[in-house]
Amino acid sequence: MKTLEELKAIREKTLANIQLRTETGEDSVRIVVGMATCGIAAGARPVLAAFVEEVAKRKLANVSVTQTGCIGVCRLEPIVEVFAPGEEKVTYVKMTPEKAGRVIAEHIVNKQVVSEYTIGMNQ
């Protein structure tokens, strides 16, 4: 970093990343990734990173990506819950970074739940 402009660019990028990880309002969609020990061991870190990257790439201003502790079904980790205003919570199980991209494209953008990844289909 050699100039004030470079520092400002770093600040803006960091603030944008922070905004992705915080709730944006009552009309926002929340994507919550289980990050307890069992989730992390099953691969939740790359899943969380994939959701953050995809939301940023698509510039989805009304979507936040957060983490939580144990969701309670360790054998189905990594688990991701999607909370959308006026809709029931959707729980996705055995998630991967590749599945995260599809969930963003189909569920978050096009409002179509990816049912084959949900808890009812993968028990």
In a domain, 8, yes or no: yes
Count of CB atoms within 10 A of residue 33's CB? 25
In a domain, 23, yes or no: yes
Domain encompassing residue 102: 4-117
In a domain, 99, yes or no: yes
Q: Is 81 exposed, middle or buried (0-12, 13-18, 19+ CB in 10 A)?
A: middle
CATH number of 38's domain: 3.40.30.10
| Torsion of Cα atoms, 35 then 36 then 40 then 45, to 10° | 10
Domains contained in the chain, number: 1
In a domain, 123, yes or no: no
pLDDT tens digits for 42-77? Answer: 999 999 999 999 999 999 988 999 999 999 899 999
In angstroms, the CA 38 to CA 28 distance is 28
pLDDT tens digits for 77-122? Answer: 999 999 999 899 999 999 999 999 999 999 999 999 999 999 865 4
In a domain, 11, yes or no: yes
In a domain, 122, yes or no: no
In a domain, 17, yes or no: yes
In a domain, 43, yes or no: yes
